[in-house]
Amino acid sequence: MKILMTLLFMLTTVVSGVAATWHVAQDGSGDFTVIQDAIDAASPGDVIRVHSGRYTEMTANHDVWGNGLFLVDAYVWVDKCDLTFLGDGTGDTIIGPTEYPEGQVNELYGIAIAPEVTSTVAVSGFQLEYVHTGIMAWNDRCELSDCSFQDMGLGVRLYTESGASIIGCEFDELGSGLLALPPTAGVSLQYCAFTDNETGATFIGTVGTQIISCDFFGHNGALSIQQGATVFVEDCAISGSVTDNSGVYVSLGGQAHLHECTVEGFEVGLWVTGGGAGSIVADSCIVAGSTGTCIWNYGGIVEIHDSTILNGGGWSVLCNNSTNPDCSIDMTNNHWGTDSQDQIEAWISDAIDNPDLCCTVDFVPFNGPVATEARSWGSVKGLFEGGGGE
C-alpha cells in the first residue's frame, strides 16, 4: 500500500510540476527510513527532509571521480540534480557511525555528490562524524549551512565550478576542515568555526574566495592559500599556540587580503613564500607574535597598513630571501607596540641587517604604540611585553 501511495505521489508531482518533499524518519512516520531510498525516489528540484536520528546505512563502490579509478563507500550518494537536504540540526540528524570502523577508512564518505550532477546541491542541518571525508562535492555548486563536521580526516572537499556557499558550519578536530581545488571558484565562507583541526582551510588554485566573520582556533595552520588562489578575509579571529605553525600561509603565487582580522599565537603569524607573485595585503588588522615571527617574507610581496604589529619575543618582520629581486615589504603607518624607531628596527631582519637579502622593510612613518579603537579582543594589547629578535 505504501509503495502504491508513493507512486501516486510521484505521478502527481510530475503532472503538477511542483517540487516534492520526501520525509525520512527512522520511526517509520515518514516516506522512508533510509536516506538513499528517498534519493532514489526523488526528482530534480525535490527536498529530502531527514528527521532526527543517526543514519548509518551505506552503499558501496561509487565512482566518485567519474573515471572508474576510485570507488568509494558513501552513507549518502547524491546522483540527482537540484536536490535540497534538510536535517533537524546538528546533534539531532547525524550521518556516520559512533566510532571509526576497523580497517581502511580512506574510501568512506559521508555525503558524496556524483560527478554527473551538474547543478546545485544544498545541505543544511546535519552532523557528520567518523568518516574520511564529510562532504565531497564535484558538481556545479554546493550550498552548505548549519552543519557540523567532527572527528574525520577532511570536512568538505570542493571541485565546484560555480563555487560554494558555506554558512554557519562547525569544523572540529579534523585533519583538515576545508579543501577547495580547481575548478572551484567563488567560495563564500561565512560565520563558520574551525576548532582544533590540523589545518583549518586550504585553497589551491581557486579564485574569488571570501571568508567573512569566521573563527579559526588551535591549528597547525589556519589558512593555506596556494598556487594562484585568491582569498579575501574579513573580520576573522585566527589564533593558535606557540607550538603551531602559521596563521596565514601563502605560497606559489597565492594572494591573501586581510581586513579587520586578528592573527595571534602562532609560531609565524603571516607567512608568504614561493615566488614574487605571492602576496599578503592587510589593513586594520592586529598581528600578535608568539616566540616566533609576526610576519615572515620568503620572497613574496607584503603590504600592511593601519594595523598593529605586536612583538612577542621573536621577530616582528623576518626576511629570509636572497633570490627574488621583486620582493617588497611596505609596512608604513602601522602601530608597533612602541614609539621608538630604534626598537622597531631591532625587531626587523631585512637587507639592512644582511646585504644578501633583497628585501628592505619600509615602516616609516609609523603610528603610536597601539591602536586606540575598540576591538572585541582588545585584551591582545596586553600581549606586548617588550623583548626582541636581536
Q: Residue 387's Cα: distance from chain center in Å?
A: 33
Could you report the per-residue pLDDT of 335-345, keeping only the tens digit for each? 999 999 999 99
> In a 3-state reduction of DSSP, which class is residue 126?
coil
In this predicted structure, what is the pLDDT of residue 241?
Answer: 72
In this predicted structure, what is the pLDDT of residue 78?
Answer: 94
Element (H, E) at 2: helix 2-16
pLDDT band at 244 (very low <50, low <70, confident <90, very high): low
Residue 339: C-alpha distances to residues 79, 90, 112, 146, 304 (Å): 62, 49, 55, 45, 18
Q: What is the mean pLDDT of residues 305-309?
A: 96
Domain 198-374 has CATH 2.60.40: no
Instruction: Sketch the domain layout of the chain as residue ranges.
Output: 20-162, 198-374
Do residues 196 and 220 make contact, with C-beta atoms less than 8 angstroms apart? no
CA distance 147 to 124: 6
If one compares 368 and 147, the residue with the highest pLDDT of the two is: 147
CA distance 290 to 299: 22
In this predicted structure, what is the pLDDT of residue 383?
Answer: 40
* Type of residue found at 11: L
CA distance 294 to 296: 7
In this predicted structure, what is the pLDDT of residue 325?
Answer: 67
What per-residue string of b and e applies to 156-175 under the rule 16 or more CB within 10 Å gives b?
bbbbbeebbbbbebbbbebe
Q: Is the pLDDT of residue 386 over 50?
A: no
pLDDT band at 11 (very low <50, low <70, confident <90, very high): very low
If one compares 301 and 33, the residue with the highest pLDDT of the two is: 33
Rg (CA), the chain: 24
Phi and psi dihedrals of 323, rounded to 5? -120, -20
Query: Can you read off the three cell numbers belonging to residue 108?
Result: 568512506
Q: What share of the chain has pLDDT > 90, as a percent?
A: 62
In this predicted structure, what is the pLDDT of residue 323?
Answer: 66
Q: Is the pLDDT of residue 306 over 50?
A: yes
In this predicted structure, what is the pLDDT of residue 370?
Answer: 72
pLDDT band at 218 (very low <50, low <70, confident <90, very high): confident
Which residues is 303 bridged to in the sheet? Answer: 281, 330
Q: What is the mean pLDDT of residues 43-57?
A: 96
If one compares 47 and 375, the residue with the highest pLDDT of the two is: 47
Q: What is the mean pLDDT of residues 267-281?
A: 84
In this predicted structure, what is the pLDDT of residue 351?
Answer: 81
Of these ranges, 16-20, 48-52, 337-341, the one predicted with the greatest mean pLDDT is: 48-52
Do residues 318 and 349 make contact, with C-beta atoms less than 8 angstroms apart? yes
> Burial, 376: exposed, middle or buried (Cβ in 10 Å; 0-12, 13-18, 19+)?
exposed
Q: Does the reported pTM lie above 0.85?
A: yes
Could you report the per-residue pLDDT of 362-380, keeping only the tens digit for each? 999 999 887 644 344 444 4
Candidates 104, 85, 103, 84; CA nearest to 95 is 85
**Mean pLDDT, rounded, of the chain:** 85
Could you report the per-residue pLDDT of 93-123, keeping only the tens digit for each? 999 998 887 765 567 899 999 888 888 999 9
Candidates 153, 155, 121, 126; CA nearest to 138 is 121
Do residues 260 and 233 make contact, with C-beta atoms less than 8 angstroms apart? no
Q: What is the mean pLDDT of residues 177-206?
A: 94
In this predicted structure, what is the pLDDT of residue 136?
Answer: 92
